[in-house]
Amino acid sequence: MNEHFLLFDVGGTDIKAGLANSNGEVLQVLREPTHKVAPENAATVLVAQLEQLGRRLQEDTGATASSAGLIVCGLVDSEEGIGIFSANLGWRNAPLKSMTSQALGLPVGFGHDVSLAARAELELGSGAKDEALRRNAVVMIIGTGIASALMVDGRLISAGGYAGELGHSQVPGGFDCACGATGCLETVGSAGAIAKRYGDKTGVSVGAKEVFAARAAGDELAAGIINDAVEALTFTMAQLCSSVAPEGIVLGGGLAQAGPGFFAELEKSLRRRLSFHRMPRLISAHLGADAGLQGALILAREVNQASAGQAS
């Protein structure tokens, strides 16, 4: 039986929506900006947007979905189906799972975007043939900010949605952060921070890629900013080695595209910080931009199986 699944990956900037078949093939993907409204209306407006996207996908493909997978940004209580808080989109303690299920008329699997992208990466991407990595790993998505997920002894750690906020862990030399704290990792170690710091110093608007190119051309300012990022990232990685001892640290996002030379810098810096600790492998993520939808597909399949079991 070829069942179909609606997939939703809700980010602070846009929504990716897809429809997949039971073979895991994503037949169509729609992408549109996430509507920005007053916080008190954010959840209602989001669910209406998801309902509209789901209807379009089914009409366009001629398929009827049997379940849906929904992953969202911010703090998430996946067990209760609650969007605890989204700084970008404004909702607080919103029952997004039940609201979306009612709107679509389907069972909905619900979770955190980075956690499920990490799970997809470990089950279907870099960890697909690596049991040790699937059991103990950290996935760090380093882009505008830094988002993370922790897999310990085969279990994705949630702590009610608060675990894995490595981008907001404190590092030496960190700056004021939009979250309200000072010294957060992502103010130094993210791709966004590299670009911002270089732009603030030079008055030139660039991306992190251009800063790496400037360093390669001998720019000492660019070299110093990238070195600061390396030191901040490996400071946090060393803390992870002391606490959850990952077999591997999987790096995704824009900064992971900096190439093997950057990975070698991170490895050298991290080794310098460790003594008896297990040295994790530093691994480039395989799934890239598709990881979120693949994570949503995992949820959609699980909730579909659970619903079928209850029906029987």
pLDDT value, residue 312: 57
Strands 281-284 and 248-252: parallel
> Is residue 119 one of the residues assigned to a domain?
no
pLDDT value, residue 311: 63
Residues 152 and 269 in one domain: yes
CA dist., res. 310 & res. 302, Å (int): 12
pLDDT value, residue 1: 62
The mean pLDDT of 162-185, rounded to a whole number, is 92
pLDDT at 49 over 70: yes
- Domain CATH for 81: 3.30.420.40
Residues 44 and 94 in one domain: yes
The mean pLDDT of 251-277, rounded to a whole number, is 93
Number of domains in the chain: 2
Q: What are the pLDDT digits (tens) for 200-252? A: 999 999 999 999 999 999 999 999 999 999 999 999 999 999 999 999 999 98
Residues 268 and 303 in one domain: no
Instruction: For residue 217, give every residue at least 6 positions away whose Cβ sits within 8 Å of its Cβ, in sequence order, or none.
Output: none
Q: Which domain holds residue 101?
A: 4-112+289-311
Residues 166 and 280 in one domain: yes
Residues 57 and 147 in one domain: no
pLDDT value, residue 255: 86
> Is residue 260 one of the residues assigned to a domain?
yes
pLDDT value, residue 310: 72
The mean pLDDT of 30-53, rounded to a whole number, is 94
pLDDT value, residue 12: 80
Residues 281 and 136 in one domain: yes
pLDDT value, residue 299: 96
> Is residue 165 one of the residues assigned to a domain?
yes
pLDDT at 289 over 80: no
Residues 74 and 199 in one domain: no
Burial, 58: exposed, middle or buried (Cβ in 10 Å; 0-12, 13-18, 19+)? middle
pLDDT value, residue 144: 82
pTM confidence score: 0.82
Residues 53 and 198 in one domain: no
Q: What are the pLDDT digits (tens) for 127-146? A: 989 999 999 999 999 988 89
Residues 151 and 267 in one domain: yes
Q: What percent of the chain has pLDDT over 70?
A: 99
pLDDT value, residue 5: 97
Residues 91 and 210 in one domain: no
Residues 50 and 182 in one domain: no
Q: How far is CA 171 from CA 88, 181, 259, in A?
A: 24, 12, 24
Q: What percent of the chain has pLDDT over 90?
A: 74
Q: What are the pLDDT digits (tens) for 52-108? A: 999 999 999 999 999 999 999 888 999 899 999 887 788 999 999 999 999 999 999
Residues 236 and 146 in one domain: yes
Lowest mean pLDDT among 30-34, 82-86, 157-161: 157-161
pLDDT value, residue 43: 95
